[in-house]
Structure 1
Amino acid sequence: MKDIFDLLGRILLSFIFFFEAYDYFAYEGLNKKAMMIYGLTWNQDFFLYGAIFFLFIGALSILLGYRMRLGAIMLMIYWVPLTFIVHNFWTETAGTAEFRLQSILFMKNIAITGGLLITATHTSGRYRLRRLFATTNV
């Protein structure tokens, strides 16, 4: 049962990063405009495609259970700065709807970071890519 929950947790955790990588790719123009709003004007293509690469490879690593520590670190390199830059609720007026929304999104991202830290310190269960290849007679 533990191995099934491990796999389910890896699927759910990686899904948000796959979705974000898809969103960055599908809505490239809108994401570049958002980067301008947050002051990222230098070499936008490098940062956008670098983020897509980190998101996709990190999520794939966690999903497959292969080099999960590296995948979690790649995702945190992207996720932690993004959280503090985009969801800076402390700059909003307390009690407003924007303050509440940004504080909830900030805490959601902090919780996901906690999941990545747990993932980085644990090994994957029975359902992982390396074990699949180790037990087949190819």
Structure 2
Amino acid sequence: MKAIMDLIGRICISLIFFYEAYDSIVYAKATKALMTEYGVVWRQDLLFYGAIVALVLGSILVLIGYRAGLGAFLLLAYWIPVTLIVHSFWNDAPELRRMESIHFMKNIAIVGGLLSVLVNGSGKISIRRLFATFRVRNA
């Protein structure tokens, strides 16, 4: 049962970041405008495309369970700065503070899930385990 729950958890976390990458690609112009609004103007194209690569590659690695720790690290390297920049509720007006603090806490929960994958690995149901247990017979 634990192996299945590990897999379901990895699927759920990966879906969040696959959607984030999809949304960033489809709405690239709006995403770059939002980056400018939040003051992220230094090498914006590099950061934008680097984030998409980190999101897609990290999501794939976490999902399939091959080098899941590396995938979780890539996603954390994206998610933590974005959370601190976009959901900085301590800088917001009082009427926005409550909602932004809720979004901030949800993102912190996602960080916790990624840290769990980083520390515990991918579990029994993963490509890595499949490679480790697969034996090639000599013909």
Q: TM-score, normalised by structure 1?
A: 0.92
| Matched-pair contact (CA < 8 Å) for 2:66–2:128 | yes
Aligned to 2:50, the other structure's residue is in SS state helix
Where structure 2 has 5 or more consecutive residues not aligned to the other structure, the ranges are none
Single out whichever of 51-60 and 41-50 deviates more from structure 2: 41-50
Find the aligned partners of 1:77 and 1:19 in 2 and give their Cα distance.
Answer: 17
Find the aligned partners of 2:77 and 2:122 in 1 and give their Cα distance.
Answer: 21
The number of residues matched between the two structures is: 136
Find the aligned partners of 2:121 and 2:69 in 1 and give their Cα distance.
Answer: 8
Hey, which bits of structure 1, 4+ residues long, moved more than 6 A? none
1:70 corresponds in structure 2 to 70
Aligned to 2:42, the other structure's residue is in SS state coil
Residue of 117, 120, 135 corresponding to 1:119: 117
5 Å-filtered alignment, 1:44-83, equals 44-83=44-83
Q: CA deviation at 1:135?
A: 2.9
Single out whichever of 26-35 and 120-129 deviates more from structure 2: 120-129
2:42 corresponds in structure 1 to 42
Find the aligned partners of 2:52 and 2:135 in 1 and give their Cα distance.
Answer: 32
Q: CA deviation at 1:45?
A: 1.2
Where structure 1 has 5 or more consecutive residues not aligned to the other structure, the ranges are none
Aligned to 2:41, the other structure's residue is in SS state coil
Find the aligned partners of 1:41 and 1:106 in 2 and give their Cα distance.
Answer: 22
Find the aligned partners of 2:53 and 2:116 in 1 and give their Cα distance.
Answer: 22
Find the aligned partners of 1:2 and 1:120 in 2 and give their Cα distance.
Answer: 17
Find the aligned partners of 2:63 and 2:76 in 1 and give their Cα distance.
Answer: 16
1:135 corresponds in structure 2 to 134
Q: TM-score, normalised by structure 2?
A: 0.91
Find the aligned partners of 2:25 and 2:92 in 1 and give their Cα distance.
Answer: 29
Find the aligned partners of 1:136 and 1:9 in 2 and give their Cα distance.
Answer: 28
Cα RMSD (Å) of the superposition? Answer: 1.5
Cα deviation code 1:15-55 (max 9, x no counterpart)? 10000011111110000100110111222111111000001
Single out whichever of 102-111 and 124-133 deviates more from structure 2: 124-133
Look up the equivalent residue of 1:40 and give its one-letter code: V
